[in-house]
Chains A and B, each alone.
Chain A
């Protein structure tokens, strides 16, 4: 009750901040667009179902007179990128919060079980040697597949007679990441012409994002629905995650099916992280620093921490990407998140007790 109220209150605040960041970001660029125009353009896209005379139809209740160029810049160029950034930040921060709780370790991040490294191998392979991949899989598909295969592999390596000690999982993750890093480097050496493309992907980027990146199937954007569905499952396990923080033995005594819960949390985190990495490359630090900062602000209760981290991750990545694309030279957003995030993290490390969850 109390937790639900706190979650709702914080989420409202951070949700409002996210909307503000999105609107401001959509106005920033080579052609500045006033915030009011951005809002109007967004409102125009809002649809409501109607049943006029028994006929079902989608209607646009809002219509404003806007400059066609402004409308096109906001809706076709900037908003897809911004919303994709919001989605990726949401996914990474949520997965990061879960992984930090799961490993009872504040230095855990969504890639800890090798998800990003696996995605990187998949992505680089599809750039460097698309011919070896079956069925003409695209980059996103191979990256996503690489992420899941790696996560499952690490889990399988660390599991013995039905138990998966988190310490083993952590070490197996580190070893597999190192191994996959070697493969990526080897592929990189032989990348030839596509070297620049590979490096760019590895740094994490959101440029050239379009509505297609939301994986529309029959007009329905699958990616956001997928991320939200994963997030809903994680949220349903927020209480279990709290109890797991007390240690697995204790959690089991308090009625948590520990191994099953761990499997599920790991699987969902891998799915949500894999989806994010597949569309945006390896964007570091969002999943590490955002949950961490939020924990200092809202406390360790995952019922509050999870939604607030996700929303803050969204806002943070949108803001970082806005900075990445509005400098004299467009940068991969991964550079910005790391360049801003790491010093801030060090500041917290010196200032406050970051070593505690």
Chain B
């Protein structure tokens, strides 16, 4: 096969009715690439996919499929190069599963000819690959939504095209079917096919896509590997939400957490009276608390916290001033001094639900020296948290009865 891109979209503009859906979009898909399209609803992902397979005529720009303008190709020729797995999987006609998959061969079978051995082989392969053989004889109207979406994937595979377009293929699927669909697609891509998938679920996109293209406001606002595209600023621009991006410890791919919209952030009754707090975090206990504080608009500093601790990641993502220490180094005097400064600069100090280890003793001392009011978040019992008796004693001495909250929202109430 040639080296040219499987799909090359340049300067594509589409108006639907009076609204401009896409404006000057460029997109190139190489052989063996799985590209994820993400973006808010109505951003034009589906429109882009429709233009890519020529079922929608753009107002400007060009779409090349395998090097040829899609507009110049017959529907049959396009059907041999591009297959689509549709978003809406409802089929209301009692065709058997096999008949539906056989329809994938439509672009290959001449009008006055029957399906040949090669066609039947392609159908069988597609059905085996998607594991729909077992219900090949059943009616498409009788099987479950998850099974149906696999049948439609099988139909697209039976087309044997170099390019596969998937429009929210797993939007309505349970995690098991979602996984199987994308495992199948990425397997195909490893074998040299290409795929473009519009995906709502950012974690799925991050996990399976080689490249992610963020479509928003009629254009491409980011395009690159998941790590470089799924960032808090980009996601803020695309979706208008605050997010924390962390590394998924299991898949080692970015994981996106959308921060909750707080009543406080919306101007509710819980606006904290302090505008700056210092949080003693660590052990991955403070993430939700930091997110809440950030949403509530409280300037927050954090520390000490071990580099690589998820609390550090969250604080980083939220652009908080953080005292980071090496995981094995312990808290040195420079770090302690910095904690003291930050505590003194804050209106209050919050001790998160951290383990009470001996390393915490000097930290609590510094906090105490700052003379600021101390609030404690206690999600677990003290007994559960106690590692060092000395630290536990110091903690008890520090904690006033009034400043104890059982959760992050309660703390915000206390701060108000």
Complex contact A254–B93 (CB within 8 A): no
Given A242-B103, A258-B75, CB of A253 within 8 Å of CB of B83: yes
Task: For the complex, give the distance between the alpha carbons of A253 and B53 in Å.
Answer: 7
Task: For the complex, give the distance between the alpha carbons of A257 and B114 in Å.
Answer: 19
Residues of the B chain whose Cβ atoms lie less than 8 Å from the Cβ of A245: 93, 95
Minimum CB–CB distance for B376 against chain A, Å? 59
Minimum CB–CB distance for B88 against chain A, Å? 8
Residue in A closest to B119 when the chains form the complex, CB atoms: A1
Q: Tell me the chain B residues, 60-118 only, with Cβ under 8 Å from chain A.
A: 74-80, 82-84, 86, 91-96, 99, 103-104, 106-107, 109, 111-112, 114-115
B246 within 8 A of A: no
B372 within 8 A of A: no
Complex contact B94–A243 (CB within 8 A): no
Minimum CB–CB distance for A1 against chain B, Å? 6
Complex contact A236–B76 (CB within 8 A): no
B407 within 8 A of A: no
Residue in A closest to B156 when the chains form the complex, CB atoms: A253
Residues of the A chain whose Cβ atoms lie less than 8 Å from the Cβ of B106: 239-240, 243, 254-256
Residues of the A chain whose Cβ atoms lie less than 8 Å from the Cβ of B114: 1, 4
Residue in B closest to A250 when the chains form the complex, CB atoms: B86
Minimum CB–CB distance for B121 against chain A, Å? 13
Task: For the complex, give the distance between the alpha carbons of A243 and B92 in Å.
Answer: 13
Task: For the complex, give the distance between the alpha carbons of A75 and B327 in Å.
Answer: 105
Residues of the A chain whose Cβ atoms lie less than 8 Å from the Cβ of B103: 242-243, 246, 254
B253 within 8 A of A: no
B389 within 8 A of A: no
Minimum CB–CB distance for B16 against chain A, Å? 13
Residues of the B chain whose Cβ atoms lie less than 8 Å from the Cβ of A300: 93-95
Complex contact A255–B86 (CB within 8 A): no
A160 within 8 A of B: no
Minimum CB–CB distance for B89 against chain A, Å? 11
Select one of B82, B94, B115 contacting A356, CB under 8 A: B94
Complex contact B91–A246 (CB within 8 A): yes
Minimum CB–CB distance for B188 against chain A, Å? 17
Q: What is the total number of residues of chain A having a CB less than 8 Å from a CB of chain B?
A: 24
Select one of A1, A239, A240, A252 contacting B55, CB under 8 A: A252
Q: Tell me the chain A residues, 232-285 only, with Cβ under 8 Å from chain B.
A: 236-237, 239-240, 242-243, 245-246, 249-250, 252-258
B300 within 8 A of A: no
A299 within 8 A of B: yes
B204 within 8 A of A: no
B178 within 8 A of A: no
B159 within 8 A of A: yes
Residue in A closest to B105 when the chains form the complex, CB atoms: A254
Question: Measuring CB to CB, which residues of chain A are less than 8 angstroms from any residue of chain B?
Answer: 1, 4, 236-237, 239-240, 242-243, 245-246, 249-250, 252-258, 299-301, 356-357
Question: Measuring CB to CB, which residues of chain B are less than 8 angstroms from any residue of chain A?
Answer: 50, 53-55, 74-80, 82-84, 86, 91-96, 99, 103-104, 106-107, 109, 111-112, 114-115, 141, 159
27 A–B pairs (Cβ distance < 8 Å), ordered by A: A236-B111, A237-B111, A239-B106, A239-B111, A242-B99, A245-B93, A246-B93, A246-B103, A252-B54, A252-B75, A253-B83, A255-B76, A255-B77, A255-B78, A255-B106, A255-B107, A256-B75, A256-B106, A257-B74, A258-B75, A299-B94, A299-B95, A301-B99, A356-B92, A356-B94, A356-B141, A357-B92
12 more A-B contacts (CB under 8 A) besides A1-B115, A356-B141? A236-B111, A239-B111, A242-B99, A243-B103, A246-B103, A253-B53, A254-B103, A256-B106, A299-B94, A356-B92, A356-B94, A357-B94
